[in-house]
């Protein structure tokens, strides 16, 4: 396993992202909508860095299953919580790969939930793989086209528990 982004780098960047959210939404509240399963560790750490009032809920979507490549079809595996209506929502995701999952989710949120605002926080993006452009408002790291694991990202549901982002050569 090669370490691409170590634990300290992740911690420092998450802290910076939390500070930026605090500035951008000063005197307001935000609602984090965490995309499960990969986004849960990033979301938890990010939430701890946010000092303004914050709520959190979860949604499960899938376009990968246990594969290393997107199926090209996004499946909504859980309902989007109604309590996000009219709120400042920040979708929290582990990685923007092709962008398909987030494109579908963001369009659904914008068209059906009358949000006050809708932003995207992603720990990682692979610019060379993006086919469905989405605007990442709070980005951790831009990476090359590696299949990465750790810090919530998995390989067939394994290796999420690594405290760093790694890849196999």
pLDDT tens for 16-64 read: 999 999 999 999 999 999 999 899 999 999 999 999 999 999 999 876 5
Residue 71: what pLDDT?
Answer: 53
Residue 69: what pLDDT?
Answer: 54
Query: Which residues constitute the domain of residue 65?
Result: 2-167
Domain tally, the chain:
1
Residue 163: what pLDDT?
Answer: 97
Residue 74: what pLDDT?
Answer: 73
CATH code of the domain containing 62: 3.40.50.2020
Active site members:
97
pTM equals 0.90
Residues of the chain falling short of pLDDT 70: 63-72, 77
Residue 82: what pLDDT?
Answer: 87
Q: DSSP letters along the chain, please? A: -EEEE-HHHHHHHHHHHHHHHHHHTTTS-EEEEEEETTTHHHHHHHHHH--S-EEEEEEEEES-TTSSS--S--EE-SPPPGGGTTSEEEEEEEEESSSHHHHHHHHHHHHHS--SEEEEEEEEE-GGG-SS----SEEEEE--S--EEBTTB-BTTBSTT-SSEEE--
Residue 79: what pLDDT?
Answer: 79
């Amino acid at each position: 396993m090669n370490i691409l982004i170590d634990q300290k780098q992740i911690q420092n960047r998450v802290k910076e992202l939390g500070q930026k959210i605090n500035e951008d939404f000063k005197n307001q509240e935000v609602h984090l909508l965490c995309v499960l399963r990969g986004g849960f560790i990033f979301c938890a750490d990010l939430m701890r860095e946010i000092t303004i009032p914050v709520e959190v809920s979860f949604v499960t979507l899938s376009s990968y299953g246990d594969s290393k490549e997107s199926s090209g079809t996004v499946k909504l595996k859980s309902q989007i919580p109604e309590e996000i209506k009219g709120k400042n929502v920040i979708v929290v995701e582990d990685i923007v790969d092709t962008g398909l999952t987030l494109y579908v989710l963001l369009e659904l949120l914008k068209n059906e939930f009358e949000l006050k605002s809708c932003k995207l926080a992603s720990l990682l993006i692979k610019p060379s793989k993006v086919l469905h452009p989405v605007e990442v408002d709070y980005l951790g790291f831009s990476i090359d086209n590696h299949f990465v694991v750790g810090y919530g990202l998995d390989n067939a549901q394994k290796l999420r528990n690594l405290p760093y982002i790694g890849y196999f050569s």
